[in-house]
Amino acid sequence: MKELTLKDLQLCSLEILKDVHNFCESEHLHYSLAYGTLLGAVRHKGFIPWDDDVDIYMPRPDYEKFFKAFNSCNNVAVHESESYIAFGRVCDVKKTIVKTTLPWTKSKNLGVWIDVFPIDGIGDEKNVFSQTILELDELFNKQLAVRRSLPSLFSQLTPTRMLKQVCRKIKYCSLNINEINQKIKETCLMHPYESTNYCSQLACPGNKDKEFFKKSFFEEYVELEFEGKKLKAVKDWDAVLKMNFSDYMQLPPIDQRVAHSSDHTKFYWKEK
């Protein structure tokens, strides 16, 4: 099979994103570009040149409605209940396939994906929120460790990598990934979204406690240009980007301009 280039991967991701956008528009569901995708829209009017993925936010009520109702000829929505991770993805099933050493779902024949992060309610006190993020970060690190131990031992592995994989399986054999993810989900849903004043992305707490949002951020949306397409973003995208990236218009050093998944995940065109 032929591996996708970075440009191929971006174009496939864009097609999925357009599909999600069209569905959300037709069903009156809220979503917003997120993380590097939002930054790309503002700074580059499209993909960050070296970025290889697409991220969006959805308020939890819209998120659950989306994963129950999404229907497409080309893409499939994978809810976290069908996965080893705590957030959802929308995956191409027609043109591409993924090979990864970091399994995230039991489903087969899935290809390029975009990440869909639920936005959940949180308490009003920042110090309590910070403690919650620390607890979630510990759970996330356990989840990641177990995921790394899941792949079988392959004869293609070098002796050194084979030994590391054996050690992982021994070290993490007592941990149950479903129980870990259930604890993450319970923590995410501790404060019902409808009854809170603040919210955050809790399912994958990579930015620690930076994302302490007023819930009003997710009540008003604007359109931003992304690769020639008008897509949705929270109205106060500037505040969101400053929380995540500080001086977000400043390009990072050259050695940090790297793709996210190239070390553990490869995408290929399906053979016709």
DSSP state letters, 54-97? -EEEEEHHHHHHHHHH---SSEEEE-GGGBSSSSEEEEE-SSEE
pLDDT of residue 207: 64
* pLDDT tens digits for range 111-141: 999 999 999 999 999 999 999 999 999 999 9
Q: What is the pTM of this model?
A: 0.93
Question: Does residue 267 register a pLDDT over 60?
Answer: yes
Contact of 96 with 268, CB cutoff 8 Å: yes
pLDDT of residue 140: 94
pLDDT of residue 238: 97
Q: Rounded to an integer, what distance in angstroms lies between the CA atom of residue 133 and that of residue 141?
A: 12
Angle at 66 between CA 82 and CA 126, to 5 degrees: 85
* pLDDT tens digits for range 80-108: 999 999 999 999 999 999 998 888 998 88
* Three-state secondary structure call for residue 109: coil
Q: For strand 96-100 and strand 88-92, is the pairing parallel, antiparallel, or unpaired?
A: unpaired
Quote the mean pLDDT of the chain.
Answer: 93
Confidence of residue 156 (pLDDT cuts 50, 70, 90): low
